[in-house]
Structure 1
């Protein structure tokens, strides 16, 4: 492995395991579970848990430049069970900007690039609900908008929860 890769790995790993980090840039990591609730297009409305079951597993790294602004890099494998057949139906590359809104709220404005050919953007409102020295628990409302791959544009409302460290 190259020296640059080794340095980057050590830098990221040390940031993820340093819970008392108070200087900036500040690096945090997270893992969550995201359930799309309803997806609407010009042709139809689909409801998760009724028409099919879909779930995503957002995993990412946040790099906070200051207390107020940061960058997030997220990868989300999405699994769908439709009619008894389940599979990973896409892998989402989800970079974005983070804006701390105060009182535990954060806005994430994300670009979206899916391996199934869809693309778009996802505004997310996030709230830290439990915070302690080593981790915090959060809930979020992602609102994905997607285009492309010969399908009509879609809007989804979802619910996400997870742990940040």
Structure 2
């Protein structure tokens, strides 16, 4: 009789422990790393500055980029990103893919939905440089999030003046 009571107690303890551990882990799921995320967006260069003068988008032409990227988060704080951005230039006479940008970089989570991306830049036009990007998640859903970003491109090379600019980007990550 005593042995059966001990077996019943043991069984109840096992079931309770299983229930408690399952409930606890279900309430606080811990993400596993590395974590993969993709995104698409639209980027609008706003203004660029160089020794040749100031160029604003929308004045003589309209340039729009369509970034497509993959983020690989090593931890909750640091990750790697690779992005490809075809840039389309439209004038009153024509429109065409004017440039393609390859944009690898490092990601640093700053907290409260903010992320810093330090990107290298390699353009099919022959230009190269750096692009610091400040990103903010503005709406987070279960399987996706919407973000806005401010890219600050610096470009050099191809027998052109160095240029520095500001842009605006928005998109969806999934």
TM-score (norm 2): 0.82
Which structure 2 residues correspond to residues 5-24 of structure 1 after superposition, within 5 A? 22-24=31-33
Matching residue within 154, 158, 161 for 1:149: 158
- Separation of aligned partners in 2, 1:35 and 1:116: 18
The answer for the alignment partner of 1:118 in structure 2 is: 127
The answer for the alignment partner of 1:94 in structure 2 is: 103
Which entry has the higher C-alpha Rg, 1 or 2? 2
Runs of 4+ in 1 over 3 A off after TM superposition: none
The answer for the alignment partner of 1:72 in structure 2 is: 81
Check 1:21–1:30 CA distance in 2 against 1; reply closer, same or farther (3 A cut): farther
Question: Counterpart of 2:76 in 1: which secondary structure?
Answer: coil
TM-score (norm 1): 0.86
**What are structure 2's unaligned runs of at least 5 residues?**
1-28
Matching residue within 143, 148, 170 for 1:161: 170
Deviation at 1:83, TM superposition (A): 4.1
Question: Counterpart of 1:51 in 2: which secondary structure?
Answer: coil
More helix per residue: 1 or 2? 2
**What are structure 1's unaligned runs of at least 5 residues?**
1-19
